Amino acid sequence: MKNRPLKTIIVGGGHRSLTYAQLANIEKDKMEIVGVADPDETRRNAIAKQFNIPAERCFRTSDEIAAIPKFADAVINGTMDHIHVSTTVPLLKAGYDVLLEKPFSVNEAEARELVAAAEKYGRKVMVCFVLRYAPFYRKIKDIIMSGEIGKIIGISTNEYVSYHHMSTSHVRGKWNNSDRCHSSMLLAKCCHDLDIMMWLMSETKPAAVSSFGCNMQFTKENAPENSGTRCLVDCPLSEECLYSAKRLYIDHPDRWSFYVWDALEHLENPTIEDKIELLKTSPYGVCAYKSDNNVVDHQTVSVLFESGATGTHNMIGGTSYGTRTIHITGTKGVIEGDFEKGVFTVSKIDPRPGCEHEDTVYDVKINNDSHGGGDLDLVRDFVAYVRGETPSVSCTDISDSLLGHLVVFLADKSMENGGQPEKVIV
């Protein structure tokens, strides 16, 4: 395996799996796609064509792969959140190492089941916490590990989910109702952020968590006067409403296209008329104030660490632009940055006469990558890990990825109980 590409199967052929599988097109010595499983025939056939996969290596489900003798080294599992554990465990048992999308489970019991299965079958599972691989967070991790800012006293992270991202994914889209998608807003959106917090704070462990949040904006009571139920069917406000499906998706037909137009994937070149027709019946055309969403639009999480340090994470949806920000205070200095700008400053206490602090600015901007350059580096590290090479400091091995998920589950429990603190038992 060291001197040949990692033979890899795609399970769940959505846009995430395909993003990771691009490594097979770019660095052929590292990965080769040799099989696919997806119940969706259009997707299965498109992937088979793209990677020249023979018909006998095309399957409907992951279970069909697990039931036959092993024919590859690894699997990229990009199915939806709530079937990550049920699809992965049989593949581990069948001898595959797995690159698994986040969230890797939707509750604590399944999270522990997956960690135990990886151990029992002696397989490697890496979780797609792509932000750990973005140069922005990697550099911050290096600086913390170097001791430059001393011992960490407090860490604050914020995720601002833009109005178009919020409405597409969480108000109208696939993660708008936890009864269907089985993920809370915090799990779907911020398991990344709480993973980053746990990773940067690896000198200690979380001890307790509390959380508050609610849906303030996207309710029927807040619907504009005279609004209809569907933007392109019965609403007179489709030219002015901030959340008009016409303004969000017809005026910007390429933005979030992999979600909004996925029902048109069977058409080679869908026209704008096809898209308008789809929005008349698809979830993305429902009034943002009258959809059946039940997830929060903002939530705050507080974490107490065993070292005495404290952490906070705020998620706020519906902002004019999306970004993540971070502020870490150590005993010798501060790190403060904005992920989308790709810039952070390290400010160190400078006791020299006439000085107060010494600032260094780091510019690690990566253009045209929604995860700041993390996606393909994660896959490269997965290949190295499976081949038995030393993985990077970012490596998102399942056992190292559990803490962030536990904090999310406990934060949601705390929020449901009015902010009552929850003890973290690892």
Ligand X SMILES: NC(=O)c1ccc[n+]([C@@H]2O[C@H](COP(=O)([O-])OP(=O)(O)OC[C@H]3O[C@@H](n4cnc5c(N)ncnc54)[C@H](O)[C@@H]3O)[C@@H](O)[C@H]2O)c1
CB 124, CB 100: distance < 8 Å: no
Cα–Cα distance between 235 and 23 in angstroms, integer?
44
Farthest CA pair distance, the chain: 74
When the beta carbons of 230 and 371 are compared against ligand X, the nearer one is: 371
As a whole number of angstroms, the distance between CA 128 and CA 396 comes to 7
Mark out the alpha helices in 94-134 (DSSP H runs).
Answer: 108-120
Sign of the alpha-carbon dihedral angle for 85, 88, 93, 98 = negative
Of residues 17 and 238, the one with the C-beta less far from ligand X:
17
Query: Least distance (Å) from ligand X to the CB of residue 375?
Result: 8
Shortest Cβ distance from residue 39 to ligand X (Å)? Answer: 5
Least Å distance, CB 284 to ligand X, is 14
Only one residue has tokens 């395996």, namely 1
Cβ nearer to ligand X, comparing 21 with 143: 21
CB of 104 to ligand X, least distance (A): 9
Residue 121 in tokens: 């079958």
Which CB, 232 or 403, lies closer to ligand X? 403
Nearest distance from residue 187's CB to ligand X, in Å? 9
User: Which of 41, 36, 5 lies closest to 18, judged by CA?
Assistant: 36
14 vs 318, which CB is nearer to ligand X? 14
Enter the DSSP assignment of 224: P
Closer CB to ligand X, 230 or 313, in the complex: 313
Q: How far is the CB of 129 from ligand X (least distance, A)?
A: 7
Quick one: 83 or 276, whose CB is closer to ligand X? 83
Which CA distances in Å does 70 have to 1, 35, 55, 86, 334? 15, 11, 17, 18, 50
Output 39 or 388, the one with its CB closest to ligand X.
Answer: 39
Cβ of residue 205: shortest distance to ligand X, in angstroms?
Answer: 24
Least CB distance from residue 414 to ligand X, whole Å? Answer: 23
Q: Which residues of 308-326 are buried (b: 16+ CB within 10 A; e: fewer)?
A: ebebebbbbbbbeebebbb
Interface residue list for ligand X (CB under 6 A) = 11-16, 37-40, 43, 61-62, 78-81, 83, 87, 101-102, 128, 130, 188, 371
Q: Copy the structure tokens of residue 271.
A: 């026209």
- Which residue blocks in 94-184 are alpha helix, DSSP H? 108-120, 135-145, 163-165, 178-181
Extended beta strands in 277-417, E state? 298-305, 310-319, 323-330, 333-338, 343-349, 357-363
